[in-house]
Amino acid sequence: MKRTVLIVSGSIALTLTAAACGGGGSSSGPAATSKGSTTATAPSNTKGPGVDPNAAEVNPAGDIRDNQVFVAYTPPAGGFSVKVPEGWARTEAGGAVTFTDKLNRVLMESVPASSAPTVPSAEQTELPAIRAAAKNFQAGKVSAVTRKAGPAVLLTYRADSAPDPVTGKVVHDAVERYEFWKSGTEVILTLSGPQGADNVDPWRIVTDSFGWQA
C-alpha cells in the first residue's frame, strides 16, 4: 500500500505593536497674569501602550486566520471531495494534490487498498515508514476516529519540515494524517503546520468536510 510522508516549509512572521505619544504646544509671547491667579496646566494627550481595536488581525506563525474561507475541491479523478482554504496554492504531483500557504499544508491522495486501515496496521506499517523518512520524528498517537464521512484512522506525530527553498529555514511541524477507506479505495488527508500553532478548528473543518462521491 502506498503511503505519503508530509514535509512542510515556510517562513515565520514577526509582530510588533507600537505606542503613539503626543505633546502639548507653547505660546509665542509672555502670558498675562493678575494677582491671585493660577496657571493651569494643559492635560497631556499621551497614551500608554495598548492594542489598537481597528488594527488588522495579526496571527502567530502558523495560525490560520479566524475568517479563513473554505471551498470545496474535487480531484480530477473524482471519487471524493473536501473543503480546503480558499486562496492557497495548489500543486499536483504523482497522483497527490497539495494546498499550501506559508507554513501550513493540506495534502491528499487516493490509493488502492484491499482492506480498511486499522490502528494495529497503522502502528505496524505506517509509523515505521514515516519514522524512517522523517527528520527529528516524534511519535504521537494512533487512534480510531469518526468524521461525518464515517470512521477513519488518525496518526499524529511531529517532524522537521524540508528546508525553505529561499531561506533554508526548517520548522518543526505537528502533523495529523487521516486515512479514510471505502470499497477498495483509501484516501489519505495529511494536515500539517508549525508545532504550537492553533489550527484545531480549521483542521476539523477540512476533515469533517470530506465526503465520498458515487
pLDDT tens per residue across all 214 residues of the chain: 444 443 333 333 323 333 333 444 444 444 444 444 444 444 444 444 554 555 444 555 789 999 999 999 999 889 999 999 999 999 998 889 999 998 999 999 999 999 999 999 999 999 999 999 999 999 999 999 999 999 999 999 999 988 877 788 889 999 999 999 999 999 999 999 999 999 999 999 999 999 999 7
Decide if 35 is inside a domain.
Answer: no
Decide if 187 is inside a domain.
Answer: yes
Decide if 185 is inside a domain.
Answer: yes
Decide if 40 is inside a domain.
Answer: no
- The Cα-based distances of 93 to 98, 107, 187 in angstroms read 8, 11, 16
Sequence-distant (6+) residues with CB within 8 A of 173 are 6, 8, 158, 159, 160, 161, 192, 193, 194, 195
Beta strands 172-182 and 80-85 are unpaired
Decide if 143 is inside a domain.
Answer: yes
Cα–Cα distance measured from residue 181 to residue 151, given in angstroms and rounded to the nearest whole number = 8
Q: What is the pTM of this model?
A: 0.71
pLDDT at 36: 42
Decide if 167 is inside a domain.
Answer: yes
Tally the domains of the chain. 1
Decide if 199 is inside a domain.
Answer: yes
Residue 112, domain CATH: 3.40.1000.10
Q: What range defines the domain where residue 162 resides?
A: 70-212
